[in-house]
Amino acid sequence: MRKHCARYGEKVPHDSTPAPEPVLVSLSVPVARADLVRDLVRSPSAQPRVPVLDLDLPDERIAEFLVGAAHAAPSESGFVAITNSGERAVALVAATVAALCGEDIRAALTTPDIAFLRGLGGPAIQALREILLAIETEQVDAVTEALDVLRP
């Protein structure tokens, strides 16, 4: 079927057949990508109201703590870690993820899988941040810089 278009002075094709399927358009606001390390590092607080893990402890004790934290009831979960070592902070993130995934915590403490951590999706990052609430340190800039290796 053709209709006359006065504006163009000629016949313009018009397809009046219905579309085979509706076209879906998302009208939602884009969700910001979850960030593994944003606002994770802070200066020491006077008295945290959650358990505190000192990263100067031996790996065995840290692993035991993380097993407990990963299996705690949601209302009891969450801890703050303290360290002045950026390397130890990266190891803690890896070990906490390992604890949540049921992987080898001690191996994650000694050899963090940076590529795996960079590839974590939103739900995994959220689970980590619900357990690891903060890393407190006197060396905020240095520890934050060390954790930047975990950004995608």
Strands (E), the chain: 2-5, 10-13, 41-42, 52-54, 79-82, 132-136
Where are the domains positioned within the chain?
Answer: 38-150
Q: Can you tell me the distance from the alpha carbon of 75 to that of 77, in angstroms, rounded to the nearest whole number?
A: 6
Name the 3-class secondary structure at 69: helix
Note the pLDDT tens digit of each residue in 100-123. 999 999 999 999 999 999 999 999
Note the pLDDT tens digit of each residue in 72-93. 866 677 999 999 999 999 999 9
Relative to beta strand 2-5, strand 10-13 is antiparallel
Which of 3-7, 81-85, 138-142, 146-150 is predicted with the least confidence, judged by mean pLDDT?
3-7
pTM for the full predicted model = 0.78
